[in-house]
Amino acid sequence: MNLSAVNKPFRVAYLERVPHPSFLETAAADPALEGVRLSLENGEEAALAELATCDGYYVRASRDELPKAFHVNDALLQRLPNLLMVGSQGAGYDTINPDSCTKAGVLLVNQAGGNAEAVAEHAVGMMLALIKKMPQTHAAMRAGEAKKREVFMGNNLLGKTVGVIGIGNVGSRTTAIVKAAFHCSVLAYDPYVDAETVAKRGAEKVELAELLAQSDIVSVHCPLTPQSRAIIDAKALAGMKKGAILVTTARGSIHDENAVLAALESGQLASAGLDVWEQEPPPKDHPLLWHPAVICTQHTAGVTHESRSMITRIAAEAFSTCAAAKMPPRIINPEVKGRFAARYMAARGRAITD
């Protein structure tokens, strides 16, 4: 046994900052971990050279906040022969190509569930504001165009039908809130979850077309994948109940922004709550930012003190688990386990266990 390999620290790199001090505090409590802050002060090449010496990489999840050179893809992984594990800084992993990780024998984990409460609360908050026409009232009052109050007559959320696209951690928590607090009926479209499991999570499993046609509010909670990209397009919006509400706290590119704008202008959509964008933040002249029936937020649904503390803590714990020669939870590419285990043994002189 190579004791030097066994005892060497598991070096985890991050670019410039972490989302919350909880990551550094949790990592510091494990002597097997060594945090490595990558700085751009001396340029990208110097930071990439330091990254090449590390075992783990803690990666920003928002694609427009991470320089392209640090996105995890084939080109980057070819430069990182020592890398064993990549951890996303959130539930999403837009900046990481899972197939590239698998080809390189690198384990990919996310922090799914860590911000579920924050995102679900944000989604329900948007539903309440939109169904009561708060953005339209706000826009009219700011413009000095306040009218008779009846012009802004909204509806109650109580008893409405909510369609949830994706019933994972966030979709399940959103379902629980609207059912418990507002006695909503919930329809769910999720091709990866069977009907029995969907029912246990409080919803009825349906196909996408049925969900769109029957829902008063459609709330998007699926990850961005090749299958979900532009799933809310002009055809999908035309299939929605006329005057329905769209809320998305998932990822930009799942909804077609031009199609959403057209549906709002035609009255097909009554209003929309948009926390995620194709470009983040969107340009200041983006027409959806100025539409009176839209609530806009800057991908902040999951950005609360509580959620940031939780997702960073569980990320640090995942790296600690890997440093202790055990498989961490929340693995995105489980098919890589065999090759990853062989690479781990070669690099660190220990057999990894589940």
Neighbour-count burial of 337, counting CB atoms closer than 10 A to its CB (0-12 exposed, 13-18 middle, 19+ buried): middle
What number is the average pLDDT over the span 263-276?
A: 98
What number is the average pLDDT over the span 325-330?
A: 96
Q: Looking at residue 270, what DSSP letter applies?
A: E
pLDDT at 1: 45
Mean model confidence pLDDT for the chain: 95
**Does residue 280 have an active-site annotation?**
yes
For 130-184, the three-class secondary structure string (H helix, E strand, C coil) is HHCCHHHHHHHHHCCCCCCHHHHCCCCCCCCEEEEECCCHHHHHHHHHHHHHHCC
| % of the chain residues with pLDDT over 90 | 91
Cα 121 from Cα 351, distance rounded (Å): 42
- Per-residue pLDDT reduced to its tens digit, 181-235: 999 999 999 999 999 999 999 999 999 999 999 999 999 999 988 999 999 999 9
Give the three-class secondary structure for 189: strand
Are the CB atoms for 269 and 260 separated by under 8 Å? yes
**Does residue 317 have an active-site annotation?**
no
> Residues 21, 23, 24, 25: what is their CA dihedral angle, to the nearest 10 degrees?
80
Q: Pick the catalytic residue from 20, 201, 251, 343.
A: 251
The CA–CA distances, whole Å, from 180 to 184, 238, 349 equal 8, 30, 51
pLDDT at 91: 86
Flag whether pLDDT at 236 surpasses 70: yes
Are the CB atoms for 191 and 165 separated by under 8 Å? no
Are the CB atoms for 167 and 175 separated by under 8 Å? yes
Are the CB atoms for 79 and 35 separated by under 8 Å? no
Give the three-class secondary structure for 314: helix
**Does residue 286 have an active-site annotation?**
no
* Tokens 């700011």, located at residue: 142
Cα 9 from Cα 320, distance rounded (Å): 10
- Per-residue pLDDT reduced to its tens digit, 61-83: 888 889 999 999 999 999 999 99
The CA–CA distances, whole Å, from 353 to 5, 327, 340, 350 equal 17, 6, 11, 9
Tell me the Ramachandran region of residue 328: left when phi exceeds 0, alpha when psi lies from -120 to 50, beta otherwise: beta
* Tokens 């799933």, located at residue: 231
Cα 257 from Cα 272, distance rounded (Å): 11
pTM, two decimal places: 0.90
Neighbour-count burial of 353, counting CB atoms closer than 10 A to its CB (0-12 exposed, 13-18 middle, 19+ buried): exposed
Instruction: Determine the residue type at 326.
Output: K
- pLDDT category at 43 given cuts 50, 70, 90 is very high
Q: Pick the catalytic residue from 20, 60, 299, 313.
A: 299
- How is 21-54 classified by DSSP, letter by letter? HHHHHHHHT-TTEEEEEE-STT-HHHHHHHHTT-
| Alpha helices, DSSP H, located in the chain | 3-7, 21-28, 44-51, 74-77, 98-104, 116-131, 134-142, 169-182, 195-200, 208-214, 234-238, 257-266, 305-323, 337-348
Find, among 273, 254, 235, the residue nearest to 165 by Cα: 254
What number is the average pLDDT over the span 292-318?
A: 96
What number is the average pLDDT over the span 29-56?
A: 97
Domains in the chain, start-ordered, CATH in brackets?
A: 3-113+305-348 (3.40.50.720), 116-296 (3.40.50.720)
> How close are the terminal C-alpha atoms of the chain, in Å?
21
pLDDT at 170: 97
Q: Pick the catalytic residue from 44, 204, 280, 317.
A: 280
